Amino acid sequence: MKLEVVILGAGQGTRMKSSLPKVLHLVAGMPLLEHVVKTAQVLEPAAIHVVIGHGGDQVCDALARYDINWVVQEQQLGTGHAVRQALPAVSSDSTVLVLYGDVPLTRLSTLQQLVHQAQDGPALLTAELQNPNGYGRILRDENGTLLGVVEDKDATPSQRRIQEVNTGLLAAPCRDFQEYLPLVENNNQQGEFYLPDILSLAVAAGKVVKSCIAESALEILGVNDRVQLNQVEREVQRRQAEQLMRDGVSIADSGRLDIRGSLSCAEDVSIDVNVVFEGTVQLGPGVSIGANCVLSDVSVGEGSVVHPMSHLQGTVVGNNCSVGPYARLRPGTVLADGARVGNFVETKKANIGAGSKVNHLSYIGDCEMGAEVNIGAGTITCNYDGVNKHKTEIGQGVFVGSNSTLVAPLLIEDQGFVAAGSTVTTKVAKGDLAVSRTRQRNIQGWKRPRKPDTKD
């Protein structure tokens, strides 16, 4: 029997105190709903249906790259009502798995077990909680057979002492949903149509409702406020860090690492504390990332070192390079093998050649730089004239002295030499020395200015 997934994501999330739909709040750099969709995709369903309501257009836009059938729930009348909105698009011969857009931590293995249990009838994911307040309780007979779910607000005092709770995640043949959902009533304190009510209806019809239990309370943790959002964030980060360490990555402190996107690491990678990875980041063998770095959409080649306090964005770093400390590499920067970019250096749209060095206090933007170039401290490429950006081209083996200003558009050919303190505005031919500074004068007998004496 083929599988289809229905994800409920129509809630407003008033406790988030935000204009952003709840399912779009970020965990590890991705919307809550995207985490659920990505997990569902691994199950290889025939279709994924997402029920939306509050901020539906924003939700659709945020996940536009996914193949999703969007279902609009105009009025939020409960989980049973939400699933009914999706049923017309679901094939009658499918097994339907119901997930929640604000519950991102359920493990794939748990969902696979739940789907397996639901081949012939409904199956429910339950959990054992020390403090079950707020959750619906699982009702069983003396033989342990599941009879149904009673919501917390509708439960008797004895039922509230039950610690096995309803997670809301369930699966069943589509025909069961089609048969029982129209019979669900809203005669409860909330006046809502509860999805779990189909379980007691199935039992009354002579069906056996199966169940499986979550490994931990974290698997069923839903996000209703920013405290829970932070709990989910830390758990996702913990899982990612542990997997990296199992894969051979050295992490100085797994509690001080944030991955807000996709991070892939080769063997013998080392990551120090307070490092943030955003977007897509790839680290080659033996790469070392120092403390307090931020890497966004970056590739770092084998044996390269990113020293502490550096920020790399949209950058390709070759093999055996050195970056930082306190370096900022902006989008379009490419470092060839063995290049060095040192402390308080900023680059942008700069191709820095093999073995070239920009070691101190410099700005290199819109620049093509050859191999074995030395850029002295305090050098800048003046790439912007107030209207347009212009390019600086620096050949191989060029030496640029400290505190030089290279005014683009500019070409410095191979083996060119720029004397320290020069402002270069015209082409420097191969092997030439460019000097552009006034002659020094020493004034003898010069007296320093002094403040006038003051009297009371």
The two tokens of residue 314 are 């949209």
From CA 453, how far away is CA 12, in angstroms rounded? 72
Q: Which of 93, 112, 121, 117 is nearest to 1 (CA)?
A: 93
Q: Which of 102, 8, 84 is nearest to 50 (CA)?
A: 8
**Whole-number Cα distances in Å, 333 to 1, 283, 300, 330, 376:** 51, 16, 12, 6, 19
Q: Which residue has the tokens 């008797």?
A: 156
Cβ-based neighbours of 127, under 8 Å, separated by 6 or more: 164, 165, 167, 213, 214, 216, 217, 219, 220
Which phi and psi angles does 124 have, rounded to 5°? -120, 140
**Amino acid at site 25:** H
Cβ-based neighbours of 252, under 8 Å, separated by 6 or more: 270, 271, 272, 273, 291
Strand partners, 389: 384
* Catalytic option among 54, 311, 360, 390: 360
> Is 81 noted as a catalytic residue in this protein?
no
From CA 107, how far away is CA 104, in angstroms rounded? 9
Query: Which residues are tagged catalytic?
Result: 360
